[in-house]
Amino acid sequence: MSLPSSVPAAPAAAPGRFISFEGIDGAGKSSHIAAAADWLRARGHEVVLTREPGGTPLAEQLRSLVLEAPMDPLTETLLVFAARRDHLQTLIEPALARGAWVLSDRFTDATFAYQGGGRGFDLAVLAQLETWVQHGRQPDLTVWFDLPPATAAERRAAVRAPDRFEAQDLAFFERVRAGYAARAQAAPQRFACIDSSQPREAVWQDILRVLEQRAW
Ligand SMILES: Nc1ncnc2c1ncn2[C@@H]1O[C@H](COP(=O)(O)OP(=O)(O)OP(=O)(O)O)[C@@H](O)[C@H]1O
Ligand SMILES: Cc1cn([C@H]2C[C@H](O)[C@@H](COP(=O)(O)O)O2)c(=O)[nH]c1=O
């Protein structure tokens, strides 16, 4: 299928940097992303901390629907990409263009892992939507917090009631984890895998090592 003629070409390389944080629910992303933002700010960067689905007023409304309302996998997929489109247009691309560093709690790898791996949605359709919505935009670095689903479930159960995704069984999260592994294998230069089963401080030290080595 060819792209509609109104779709602009891929954006020129932006002066800012785009880092995504990924992993199954409860893997520990939120516990570290704000500290990573502070670490980069202390090095003089403007940092925009955001999340998916969400990050803009419209995308946050779509997030509420995706996390709470029953829907079929195609509807779910279209909503996460609609939210992503608004997020990119309204927040991510302008921030990168002015030289800011964008740290996003999840991006498109989550769609391949959750809708593709978890729900079994057609990966070729996801790849087509990725092209339409992102015009080539990908994170410069993806920090993947990898953790066995049973450990993640124990951590989640200790702190919160489950949403529509968190209520899924361990087999679902095994497929999501395999979805992340496939994305990491396809783009090894972009992914940094963190062993999130370690104690919190060891996880943080690994993140620092990745940022020091790869944060340009
Ligand atoms: N290394 C760790 N060891 C033990 N517990 C941890 C560790 N990292 C985080 N936790 C705890 O696990 C729970 C889930 O962590 P967190 O909310 O950061 O995960 P998350 O990846 O952001 O999850 P979600 O994507 O579902 O929001 C929290 O209670 C957090 O305090
Ligand atoms: C971006 C994105 C997210 N999801 C799922 C994954 C999580 O279960 C929730 C977001 O909750 P979090 O506490 O902010 O991690 O949404 C998805 O299924 N597909 C996506 O593209």
The ipTM of this complex is 0.97
Q: For residue range 99-129, what is the model confidence (pLDDT) as tens digits? A: 999 999 999 999 999 999 999 999 999 999 9
Q: Of 25, 29, 31, 143, which is best to mutate to test ligand 1, by the most ligand atoms within 8 angstroms of its C-beta?
A: 31
- Give dist(CA 56, CA 104) in Å, integer: 12
152-196 residue pLDDT tens: 999 999 888 899 999 999 999 999 999 999 999 999 999 999 999
Residues with CB under 6 A from ligand 2: 25, 51-53, 67, 80, 105-106, 110-111, 114-115, 165
Confidence (pLDDT) at 216 = 65
Measured distance CA(49)–CA(177) in Å, rounded: 24
Check whether 137 has a pLDDT greater than 50: yes
Ligand 1 centroid – CA 75 distance (Å): 28
Q: Looking at ligand 1, which atom is closest to the CA of residue 27?
A: 21
Give the dihedral sign, CA 56/128/94/185.
positive
Query: Which pair of structure tokens corresponds to residue 82?
Result: 């609609």
Over residues 9-36, the pLDDT tens digits come to 444 444 789 999 999 999 999 989 999 9
What is the per-residue pLDDT for 81? 98
Task: Let me know the angle formed at the C-alpha of 142 by 207 and 188, rounded to the nearest 5 degrees.
Answer: 105
Which atom of ligand 2 is nearest the CA belonging to 81? 21
Inter-axis angle of helices 200-214 and 29-41, nearest 10:
40
Residue 42: pLDDT band by 50, 70, 90 thresholds? very high
Ligand 1 pocket, 28 CB below 6 A? Answer: yes
Is 30 annotated to bind ligand? Answer: yes
Rounded CA Rg of the chain: 17
